[in-house]
């Protein structure tokens, strides 16, 4: 997937990555956010929320522009609340009469 248009533009030209990072850092500080966040936090959150909604990780890989699936897997974090709701198929064995 190749980007065709810029999302943000400066006064004269497109913003550089560094300028976007500086604007983000300023905004985080001004908002009083004390958590350690960065622009990459958005990528991680985006990937994680898609995965939690059941989107196939290969689609997420494509959206993030990753060549390797392993790279995408580092961007996804499993929510503890989702893990608690997963039922083991082995639990059914004990509920069925022999």
What is the domain partition of the chain in residue ranges? 7-35, 38-75
Percent of the chain beyond pLDDT 90?
27
Token digits for 25?
């850092």
User: What's the pLDDT tens digit per position in 18-65?
Assistant: 888 898 899 999 999 898 888 888 888 889 889 888 899 999 999 999
**pLDDT band, very low/low/confident/very high, at 81 (cuts 50, 70, 90):** low
Give the model's confidence band at 68: pLDDT under 50 very low, under 70 low, under 90 confident, else very high.
Answer: very high
Q: Is the pTM of this model over 0.75?
A: no
Biggest CA–CA distance in the chain, Å, is: 75
Write down the pLDDT at residue 56: 92
Contact (Cβ atoms closer than 8 angstroms) between residue 26 and residue 45:
no
């Amino acid at each position: 997937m190749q980007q065709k248009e810029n999302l943000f533009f400066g006064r004269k030209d497109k913003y550089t990555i560094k300028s976007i990072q500086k604007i983000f850092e300023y905004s985080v500080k001004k908002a009083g956010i004390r958590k350690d966040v960065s622009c990459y936090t958005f990528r991680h959150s985006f990937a994680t929320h898609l995965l939690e909604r059941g989107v196939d990780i290969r689609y997420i890989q494509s959206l993030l522009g990753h060549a390797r699936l392993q790279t995408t897997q580092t961007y996804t974090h499993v929510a503890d609340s989702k893990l608690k709701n997963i039922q083991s198929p082995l639990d059914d064995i004990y509920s069925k009469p022999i």
